[in-house]
Copies of this chain bind each other. A is one copy, B any other.
């Protein structure tokens, strides 16, 4: 049965070479393809279907909080990009420039949006006049371009898909509340849809977004112990409003500047799902984002009644995303393929099962096999998918806890990263010198100052001076 393992054979073990394992999965599970366009990828049907499920569920959550979708241009005139000083300094080095259009050199070059704060400011300046026009709570689903040197599928590419929310509020308090509200939406989505536990916290001054007053983040831990920033929410205060002149007439008839936020999640979430849940057999998808949730695989499908029963089951399971694999491949090959694609459960049904009025349900994550009476297959399949969704989150949480360490001083800090990779909790005095020194020595960055602070000690892990914050540190994607 050499061909049984065809899809799996070429996969590198994750313990041997995690980066290669990741690359093998994105190719073998047919999520992406490389292109002639350097640093850009094709998101193939299996990959894009995951993105559609992410979009739908995230978008529904946005709309529940009053978000409205819009679409703004993909180009930013250079003069517009330059209006906010910190912002242009942060992005100018990594943008792509359009200099010719319609056969002529442009009078002003246009940058392909790396993010759209400047365009939303230009828009809000037009539509906001009075306090009655606030808040503005818009979002767009689009692609953005950042001219990265080193690229990796989903994690870092020159063009990627994302959503970017941009809001304008009457007061600083309203803006801060919306910033935190969206961070909470992201955390809830990561945990309850992607089954990825996250640490909520604030970025340090050094790590915050270009032009923001405060950047909040959700940080996740991958299977290899590296961190992945999985969603960010920024409070801009009135900095952009002042740079762009976005003012409104308040109830007291005075002119005031608006307060703004922005927040984004990207296709890198698919990379996170792979690296949190995947195993040496391939992808493992949480049921809520699995394009196919149930793969019915007939055994000895040429025997009378087997295929009929398989399709009957498919009809009965129509509340789920379900398919029957009736190709002429061997069952072993089909199992391997279903495992590679990360389909949450497969149902095996053959002549003996028919006789006994049962089938076998096999969970992708634990590979546990469960015999189920055909009379209760709908209920059982639903229960197993629910259980799997919950247990995948709990397993990831346990993994994170097992790979979270505490350092009181630099010796401990070095010792941990000499042997392990994971989150390190350590106190920090708040000055950038220590942050820079830690990065230089250990090649780790501050991931966030978590909302749930613990007082590990009263001294900075680096300089020993009085500590202000506990920080999560880690090597990051």
Given A48-B68, A143-B142, answer yes or no on A40-B75 (Cβ-Cβ < 8 Å).
yes
A93 within 8 A of B: yes
B73 close to A37 (CB less than 8 A): yes
| Residues of A in contact with B (beta carbons under 8 Å apart) | 33, 35-37, 40-45, 48-49, 51-52, 68-77, 80, 93-103, 109-110, 112, 119, 122-123, 126-127, 138, 142-143, 145, 147-149, 158-159, 161
- Known A-B contacts A97-B98, A122-B36; the reply to A48 vs B73 at CB < 8 A is no
Total identical chains: 2
A147, B102: Cβ atoms under 8 Å? yes
A to B CB contacts below 8 Å, 9 in the list: A33-B127, A37-B77, A41-B73, A42-B71, A74-B145, A96-B98, A97-B98, A98-B112, A102-B148
- Contact: A77 with B122, CB < 8 Å? no
By the criterion CB–CB under 8 Å, are A73 and B138 in contact?
A: no
Report the minimum CB–CB distance from A297 to chain B (whole Å): 19
Chain B residue numbers with a CB within 8 Å of A158 are 101
A77-B43 in contact (CB<8A):
no
Considering the complex, give the chain B residue whose CB is closest to the CB of A144: B74
- Nearest to A291 among chain B residues (CB) is B68
Which residues of chain B come closer than 8 Å to A77, judged between CB atoms? 36-37
In the bound complex, how far is the Cα of B93 from the Cα of A45, in angstroms?
Answer: 32
Residues of chain B contacted by A95 (CB below 8 angstroms)? 101-102
Residue of B42, B97, B147, B159 touching A99 (CB-CB under 8 A): B97
On chain B, the residues within 8 Å of A71 by CB distance are 42-43, 48, 51, 143, 161
Q: Is the CB of B73 within 8 A of A45?
A: no
Q: Which residue of B lies closest to A120 (CB)?
A: B42
Q: Are B75 and A37 in contact (CB under 8 A)?
A: yes
Residues in B neighbouring A112, C-beta threshold 8 A = 74, 98, 112
Known A-B contacts: A33-B123, A95-B102. Give 14 more (CB < 8 A). Answer: A35-B123, A36-B77, A37-B73, A37-B75, A37-B119, A48-B69, A49-B69, A74-B143, A75-B159, A93-B102, A93-B103, A96-B102, A98-B99, A102-B149
Q: Give the chain B neighbours of A49 by CB distance below 8 A.
A: 68-69
